[in-house]
Structure 1
Amino acid sequence: MVKQLQLKYENALSELNSQLTDAKTWLASQESEIKSSTSKLQLSLSEIENLKASFAVKEKTWEDEKTLLTRGAETAETAPKEISTELNGLKGRVSQMVVAIFGPRSKNLSQGPLIKLKAVYTLVEQLYIGAQWALAAISPANQGPNRLSDVLKKLSFLPARFQEVKCSCARAGALTALSRSKAWVPDLDPADVPRGYPTVKEDGSPFDQDDFIACVREVRPQATSLGEDTNVDKYQPGFDNENKKMATPSYKVADLIPPVREDTFAPEIEPVGLIDDEVSASVSTSNLKELNHKLDRSEKDMYLLKNQMKQAQASSLELEMLRSELQKAR
C-alpha cells in the first residue's frame, strides 16, 4: 500500500516537474518574443520620429518655394502690364515725333508705329546721305566724314565753306582768263584789270557802263569755254599783292540745335550730348529693340514659372503621400 502511494507520488512529482519545465520554456520564449517586439516597436517609433522631422523640413522647404513661386507669378503678371504701358507711351512719343517732323502730312501715314518709324528713319537716312554727298563735293579730297559728330560739325560751317568754294572757283576762272590773256597779249598789265574798265576808248570817246556790258555780252561764249576748261575740283588759294599764298580761312563750329518751340519733340530731354562719335544713324529703333528684348525675357520667365508650378504640384502630391504613410505608421 505504501509502495503504491509512493509510486503515485513520484509519478505526480515527475509530471509536475515536466509541466514546470514546459512552463519555464514557454516563459523564456514569451520573454524573447516580448523583447523582439519591444525592439521593433522602438525601431518603428524612431522611424516615425525621423519621418516627422524629414516631413517638417520638406514642408518648410515647400512653403518657401510656394512663397517664391507666388511672388514670381505676381511679378510675371505685372511685368507685361508695365511693358504694355511703356509700349503705349512709346507709341505716343513716336506719333508726336512724326507730327513734329512731317507736320499735317503725317496724317497720310499709317497709324502703325513701325511705318512711322520707317518714315522717320528713311528721312534721316536720306538727309544723312545727302549731307555726306554735299560735304564730299566741297571737300578737297572729295570724301565725306564717316562719324555723325563730324558731319554735324562740317554742316555747321557749310555756308561759309560754300562761299569759300565759290571764291576758289572764281579765282580759278580768273586765273585761267588772265593767264591766257597774258599769253596772247604779252604787253597786258594784269594789275590794270582789277581796277575795272578804262574811262575812254581808243578813239577818245568816253567808255561807260553800257560799253562794258557790250564787252561782257561779246565775251560770254569764250567765258563759257574758259569756265569749262577751268579745273574747279582743285581748291585754288588766294595770293596777296606780293604773290604770296594766303592762308586757308578757318571756320568756327556752330551749334545746330534749334531753340525749344511749341512743336519740339520731347522738350524735357536735353539734346546736348545725345549724339557722339559712337552713335550711328539708326538710333531711332533702339527703344523698340529694348522693349522687344524685355517682352522676350518676360515670356521666358513665364515659361520657367509654369515649369516651377508643375514641380510644385508634383511636390504637393509627394507631400500628401508622405502624410498618408505617416498616418499609417501611427
Structure 2
Amino acid sequence: MGSTSLLEVASPLNAEEVTKVIKEETLLEVQNLKMHFPIKAGIIQRVVGHVKAVDDISFRVRKGETLGIVGESGCGKSTMGRALIRLYEPTDGKVLYDGIDITKLPERELRPLIRKKIQMIFQDPYASLNPRKSLGNLLNEPLKAHGLYANLKERNEKIKEILDVVGLHSSSMNHYPNEFSGGQRQRIGIARAIVLNPELIIADEAVSALDVSIQAQIINLLEDLQSQFNLTYIFISHDLSVVRHIADRVGVMYLGKLVELADKDDLYAEALHPYTQALLSAVPTIRQNGSVNRDRIILKGDIPSSSNPPTGCVFHTRCPAKIKACETIVPQLKEVQPNRLVACHLYNNPQIV
C-alpha cells in the first residue's frame, strides 16, 4: 500500500488540517512506550535492577496497513506486542487507539471498548489453544464473553462462517486441538482472532513455527482476510523475507529500541541504520543476471544485556560506523527523509558528526 509523507501533507494544509489528516489515517499511536521488568534478589526479594525489554519507543499504525516489526530474538518485539494490548501492563508511555489511551483504562472499560477491536495471533499454535476445549468451544467462548449473538445457535452459525473463511470445515467443530496439524491449528488461532470482527490484529511470529510451504498458505490467508475485512496488522517476525512479502512499512528493533522505520521498498532497497544494513546483508538472495550480491556485514561482539544496556546508542558497542557521540548521546528517532525515520547520529544530528 502506498503512504503519504507527513512532510508532503503539510505543504498545502494549515496546522489544523494536518492534525485532522493525521488523526483520520492513524488507528494506533504509541508514545514513549516502556516495558521494564524488575530484577529481584535476596530473601526479601528486593528490586536490584530492571530488564528494559521495551525502552521508549514511539510509532503510528495507519488504518488498513500492515506494519512489520523485525529484529533479533530478545530485542523486545514480542514483549512490545503484548504490552500494546495490556497482556503486560506497560511501565510507562501511552498507547492511543482511536485517540483513547488504553493504558489508563480500567479493565471494566477496556473489555467493551478495546478487547473486541484488538486481537492477537500467537506464535505457538500448540500452546495457545486449550487442549481440553473443542474447536467449537474455543470459538464460542469469546463470543459469549462479549455478549454477541442471542443464543448458542446464532453463535454456532457465526463460527461455521468463520471456519469456512479460514479454510476449515464446519464438521471439525467437535474436534480437539491435538487432532489438527500445525497449519490447521494456526488457522484456528486466526479464526479465534477474527471471530469478534476486530479492526487491528497483532500477529506475533504467526508463521515461524510452521513449515515453509504452510507459511506461504497462512501469509496468503492473512492477506485475503485483510482485504475482505479491512483489517490492520502489526506483523512481528524475525524473518525479513516473510516481512518483505506482507508488510507495507517496516520497523526495526534492537535491544528494546526502534532504530529505523520506513516504507518496505525503501528500507529493503537501501537501509540507513547500520544495524538494519547488517540484518539485510544476512538475508539469502538469488543473484540475478548483472546484479551484485550484497556484501555480508559481520557484527562483532555479543548483544548486550537488556538489564544493563550501553549508554548512548544501544548499538554502538557493535556498530561498524560509530562515532564518539554514539557512546554518550541517545539518538532520537527522527524523519530524515519522507516517510523514513532513523535513530542514528549519522543522519539526524549532523552537527556532532
TM-score bucket of the superposed structures, by smaller chain: under 0.3
Task: Calculate the TM-score normalised by the size of structure 2.
Answer: 0.18
Higher relative contact order structure (alpha carbons within 8 Å, sequence separation ≥ 6): 1
From the CA coordinates, give the structure whose radius of gyration is larger. Answer: 1
TM-score, structure 1 length as denominator?
A: 0.19
Choose between structure 1 and 2: higher helix proportion. Answer: 1
